[in-house]
Structure 1
Amino acid sequence: MADFTTTFIDSADATRMAVHRMGQGRPALLLHGLFSDANTNWIKFGTAARLAEAGFEAIMPDWRVHGASEAPVLPERYPAGVLVGDALAMVEALELADYDLVGFSLGARTAVSAVIDGLTPRRLVLAGMGIEGLTNWDRRAGFFVDMIDRFDEIAHGDPAFFARAFMKTQGIDRVAARLLLTQGVEPIDAAQLGKLSMPTMVLIGDEDRDNGSPDELAAALPDARVVEVPGTHMSSVMKPEFGAAIVDFLSRP
């Protein structure tokens, strides 16, 4: 694994966050999805390596509650927009000025909010995201909160079975995850989407509509297009076409 390092930074509330880096070149900040981590979304299936080979530095934080980052269990550590604050702190601590921004699922949603709040990446990739994932987050979050609340009762065949299995495999703290889902994710005002003026790719699996319509999301943005790759919401990140599409989009002038 070429040029791979892991360091830690402190967010504004002193939560310790892991930052994994691979490659040398133009920075690409990659924000992973819910219950995942940098390894699962970006490293394990080759996306980070593809970026490194193409002359990028893949910068991959683990969100609080995820991966090698801390998972505080005090409610006051989860104000609305806490992940946006973590993303802003990351950009400041790493002194990123000219960079690209890529998010998957919850990471894509957070990237949208972070740009609305002032981040200015050259190019933006919103993967695994549709319009409803921005404007009707309560429905999506409710599914996972219900799963956490019924964690020990869920049987095979239950719609929440695979989500529970993934969360368990990832070693996610249930108390911290519930706080993040119920308190920490901010509402998004669709009227603010015009602030995402940079070229944007809405990258979606051809069987993935978990977060609503990618076409409606692209239509709501000033300069966006939809690119489909094979896969469902969970499997699309495993496909070589996923990383290849990101490299192709970010490599454009």
Structure 2
Amino acid sequence: MPAFNSDGIDIAYLDEGEGEPIFLIHGFASNKNVNWGYTGWVDTLVKAGRRVIAPDNRGHGESGKVYDPEAYGAPTMAEDVRRLMDHLGIERSDIMGYSMGSRISAFVALNHPDRVKRVIFGGLGYGMVTGTGDPEPIALALEAPSLDDVTSTSGRMFRKFAEQTKSDRLALAACMRASRQRISAEDVGRITAPVMVVVGGEDTISGPAQPLVDLLPNGRVLDLPGRDHMNAVGNKVYKQSVLEFLKEEA
């Protein structure tokens, strides 16, 4: 798997297919394979004639692990994406994030608007502005000696997921304490690229989609009835709607 050095941290990434590029930014405690490979996204996009670039965020997957929260934060990880674009010689690209990856994608669009063509925010609605809950119970759950020591519902969910993905739990705890920067309503309104916001109807983490879209100059909603935060990402309607969105002028 290729990798490059981003401000002292090795960032692993996959790069498959040919055609117009799209960057896929995975969610917290996930990785490029779990979020985008196993769910069929990479194959779907490559078959549609796209070049797919999907990094492992710092602290995740095959990328470098850091244990200081100061080394994380969504704006910091957004710069890893921008540096990867530079490394690959890609001037402008579509970008799709899921959950934490949507927050990272939003900072790419805010801080480097000339580099972003279209954006898909999956698994994150108005929680981008209001926040998605206290990160500390999740961080503590990741640091706990075992799952049996965790009582928080959200903490248990993410601890189980981190174990399933064989993640470095201490690196994830540091990331959790830094990665949930809110984006003001005013700044959301400065994202001028076309945006699709995709949220499962049973998602209790992301916040509603419509209030976020109401802030965007060029946004739209895709609701996925019956889907929650964990199972929305592989949905067929989600995939088909994104393919149609990517065909539009931008």
Q: Given the two structures, how large is their TM-score scaled by the length of structure 1?
A: 0.88
Deviation at 1:158, TM superposition (A): 5.4
Partner of 2:65: 71
The size of the alignment, in residue pairs, is 246
**1:32 and 2:22 matched:** no
Q: Superposed, which structure 2 residues align to 1:1-253 within 5 Å?
A: 6-12=1-7, 14-74=8-68, 77-78=71-72, 81-120=75-114, 121-137=116-132, 139-150=133-144, 152-154=146-148, 159=153, 160-230=155-225, 231-253=227-249
CA distance in 2, matches of 1:135, 1:71: 28
What is the SS of the residue equivalent to 1:238?
coil
Where does the alignment leave 5 or more consecutive residues of structure 2 unmatched? Answer: none
Where does the alignment leave 5 or more consecutive residues of structure 1 unmatched? Answer: 1-5
Q: Given the two structures, how large is their TM-score scaled by the length of structure 2?
A: 0.89
CA distance in 1, matches of 2:232, 2:204: 12
Check whether the contact 1:129–1:214 (CA below 8 A) recurs between aligned residues: yes
Percent sequence identity is 26
Deviation at 1:240, TM superposition (A): 2.2
Q: 1:240 to 1:96 in 2, by over 3 A?
A: same
Check whether the contact 1:71–1:176 (CA below 8 A) recurs between aligned residues: yes
Which segments of structure 1 move beyond 6 Å, counting only runs of 4 or more?
none
What is the SS of the residue equivalent to 2:199?
strand
Q: Please tell me the residue identity of whatever aligns with 2:48.
A: A
What is the SS of the residue equivalent to 2:159?
helix
Q: Please tell me the residue identity of whatever aligns with 1:55.
A: G
Check whether the contact 1:46–1:240 (CA below 8 A) recurs between aligned residues: no
- Bigger CA drift: 221-230 or 142-151? 142-151
CA distance in 1, matches of 2:28, 2:232: 15
CA distance in 2, matches of 1:100, 1:242: 16
Q: Deviations over 1:121-179 (max 9, x none)?
A: 11110000111233325x25234224224452547985133321111121222221122
CA distance in 2, matches of 1:183, 1:126: 20
